[in-house]
Structure 1
């Protein structure tokens, strides 16, 4: 008889091993697979494994009282990772098992909504609310570049043996995928933030105030203002979100776009981008992410000086050999300034490429420049770009993530 095992929650904390949120409640959810791919069959030999998988049904018990949705993983006979997507807010529904090539999870955790206040309830009862300190609304106190110039390195053959690359999560883009307005512009505000194991306080990726909303339409990219530091992916990461469409004079009149929190577990496809959809009552947001197995933190700082005349500037970033571009800046520059600092995760033994497009305001053509930097554990790199408009100074600071933070 075919069987699929699952981890049990720790009796004392209610938290599953490795923080895989698997419930032991009393509402059954059936997850069925109709193919013999991406399923690990135990208790039968190789000849029986294929036929046994054809009619495999996995019974998983999930209850809303547990306050989290399942994000379980299986290893198939071919070694392909598979996620079982489960219930949202305790709703019983079936899911087909499929390969984790595009999305790890698109479920919203139960009791995680901001608008009705449920995210602030039961903070001492639900493991993810305790672990990620949901009641603390402060921003992460850990800054980037914390180990850019350490004094305790043991160097062997030019390599630091003390500070290792970390598993990290990288955001490439955030897109307004669906809105309730057809073909129209909307005023959008709110935030998307992550909480990780190093410092579970809010590390904002997007943070837009209601007093200064952005004007976007369906399909628009939303400029990322963060993260302020690298995101640890050695274990689960919680993505917290509350974004709204401004619709009236008062906040109560606004349309809720997305609201809640979702978990990304550290099992699954590594070192390749995937799309993570956050569904909501008033639309959806698509985030392109990647989980990088061995990565370092690159902090990008750009100084604009000797500006001869106003110009348009676009700064894009390609990292770790992927084709997904990270938009660091896109706008007009009129005087000397520093662009916002950007933090990018870069796979070890790879590189980061910065692409600059400079164009006069009255011109449709642009001048393109590229700066490339090979990843390293610590230290700084500098490059300078000169043209008829401006001097652009680029500084990259390399760091690993700290193993812990007590701030």
Structure 2
């Protein structure tokens, strides 16, 4: 993680204003009062009210721009012979094959019986959102189409864990008003036990009058556990030829992996319905956008009973509580973070639908 936080007075003043609210953990009754007061609200309005009322999410701390590693452009990163190329096994272009929930049941069954489980929470990376900034979105350019990928390589296997992955034939349209990249849920939790690397290659399709695609951001930067600021929600950016990519992220000191799966038990007759789902935590007050129209790459339509096609993986600080909220005005369901185990609860929608939400807890590193 580069450098120390920026220390400008404006940030200090805003941080002081938020301190009292952000330092108070959320209790279920706090959430209930908020839900009863707000009811259903559009996501943007609801997010603003959550910030004003509950302090969720915390204000990110600004960090200097990330420094791209030498010879980390797409033409060099996979064929170079520098130390970091070898460390992160950059010649391997495969997606990680490691699944989530690897240690949901403790693999040391005999040790568990003797109350000697050796699994522990460990540093984990959580990336909440990514936004594109570019001068190509000028006043006379309403939208641009972007494609490419963002992937994280960690010490579990140094293979790509995709957070964004779109081909040129399937670009994402963004504008100055909707500049979020629609992120994928990671395939598994991202370990920061030792280090990890973020690999970025984001391009835009040729604009009217141009003949070639343009590179917005292309390069790699690494996060080193012993140099990182832990337990601090941070906002950082990496700059490229025609733009910059900003991240909101946190590295939990004592993180555990939450895998969220859904099974719809009842769906009203008719044409199905769209769902939205977010998560937020009680103590650390992090906000997870699991299913929405702006930040997440996920089909939100439910047409019939059965398992939802996607699962969602999140890093949560150990001893915190994760609330799963379907953002329609009913009380969220809560799950206490743990090292091992599965907890399942049923949520009833206002339209009569019902879904069983299962959260599986695991560590990422043995």
TM-score using structure 2 length: 0.73
Match of residue 313, structure 2, among 338, 343, 347: 343
Distance apart, 1:301 and its partner CA: 1.0
1:176 aligns with 132
SS in 2 for 1:172: strand
Distance apart, 1:205 and its partner CA: 1.2
SS in 1 for 2:89: coil
Q: CA RMSD in A?
A: 2.9
1:243 aligns with 202
Distance apart, 1:160 and its partner CA: 5.8
Contact 2:132 2:181 in 1 (8 A): yes
Higher-RCO chain (CA-CA 8 Å, sequence separation at least 6): 2
2:301 aligns with 333
SS in 1 for 2:275: strand
SS in 1 for 2:62: coil
Q: Structure 1: state its 5+ residue gaps.
A: 1-19, 22-99, 358-365
Distance across 1 between alignment mates of 2:116 and 2:343: 17
1:189 aligns with 147
Match of residue 199, structure 1, among 157, 160, 172: 157
1:166 aligns with 122
Residue pairs, 1:8-407, within 5 angstroms: 101-103=61-63, 106-114=66-74, 117-123=75-81, 126-153=82-109, 154-155=111-112, 161-182=117-138, 184-218=142-176, 219-247=178-206, 253-266=212-225, 267-308=227-268, 309=270, 310-319=272-281, 321-330=283-292, 332-336=300-304, 338-357=308-327, 366-387=328-349, 388-403=351-366
Flag the structure with higher strand content: 1
Structure with max Cα Rg: 1
Distance apart, 1:161 and its partner CA: 3.1
2:43 aligns with none
Q: Encode CA deviations 1:69-105: one digit per residue, 9 max, x unaligned.
A: xxxxxxxxxxxxxxxxxxxxxxxxxxxxxxx953275
Distance apart, 1:320 and its partner CA: 6.3
Q: Encode CA deviations 1:102-145: one digit per residue, 9 max, x unaligned.
A: 3275111111111xx1223333xx11100111011001111111
1:60 aligns with none
Q: Structure 2: state its 5+ residue gaps.
A: 3-59, 294-299
Q: Encode CA deviations 1:318-353: one digit per residue, 9 max, x unaligned.
A: 146334422111255250251421111111111211
